[in-house]
Structure 1
Amino acid sequence: MSKLIGYFLDRWLGWALFSSALMLAIAHAFETFGGYAPCTLCLHQRTVYWAAGAIALVGMVLTSRPGMKRFRWAFNIALALAFAIGMGIAIYHSGAEWKWWPGPTTCASSGGKVDLGALAAIAEGTAKIKPPSCDEAAWRLFGISMAGYNVLISLKLTILSLMAATSRRQFA
């Protein structure tokens, strides 16, 4: 089992890139196919995955060069920091959904699509579109919202990044 874990941690930059891309794909699928427009905090959580994906990709490219493998730990620490920031945003978002604290003042803004018909309806007061709010969960499974699941996933990714960074193999 420890060989399998070592194999996984040795390739963590690639797995982190895959995980980030998967999380972004899932978020966009909920938006595109499920009709769930992202709120402001949802968009901030996505930004973390874009940043983590970029860190992982740059790390993969640079550490594949001769003599650079020993710097993998630095990229894994950067990933741990990025995922921990994402977890913090997700905790804040979850807390706002559970009304433990207020959400941001931009809570009713949307990253959704805008067209002239929608703008005219808003101007006339006949809009049927309600922008998503950060303090109301649009979707829950087993009582946990998307932000709640993001807390758990970000925690897992943070721990794995730290494990990869502190693995003895990172310094070889």
Structure 2
Amino acid sequence: MSARAASPEAKAMYDNAKAAAATAYKAARERCDVITGNPKDVCIAEAKAARVRAEADAAARYRNTLRAYTQARIDIAKADYAVDRARCDALTGNDKDVCVERAKATRTAALADAKADRKVIEARSDAREDKRIAEYKVAAEKCDALAGTAKDQCVAAAKSQFGYEAAGPKLVPGHF
């Protein structure tokens, strides 16, 4: 995934998603106002989590980068943790302690998964790039057996096949 200039349509969709999340949050929050005690706290935390989820998903789709998707997962994990903690507040003693530890464990697992998935995706991307460079080197080496126009055409074809621009900077150390 790469950063690109967002289209006006994408920006509009993002803004609409944020507005819809705010509207949904306001409505959910109003429903919470008729509740009292811990159930109200849970209701408010759930409303906030729903807003965070909607806004984080919209931001990730709008930015369309690995970093944005990872950040969305982190934000959602933190919001879910807040909901879990609010639910734990209704308990007492050891039951509350166990609930809090379970909430922390769930948050830690979600954060670790988000970060690990990012690293896996980055590693796969790096591996694809390394393979592409290696395949280009093989194709370029085959061109060395040719001369003149045939060699130029062979090199141009290799550059095109492996995504290099013919007029770009030096492609691979030691070649051309």
TM-score, with length taken from structure 2: 0.37
**Higher-Rg member (1/2):** 2
TM-score, with length taken from structure 1: 0.37
Q: Which has the higher contact order (CA 8 A, sep 6+)?
A: 1
Higher helix share: 2
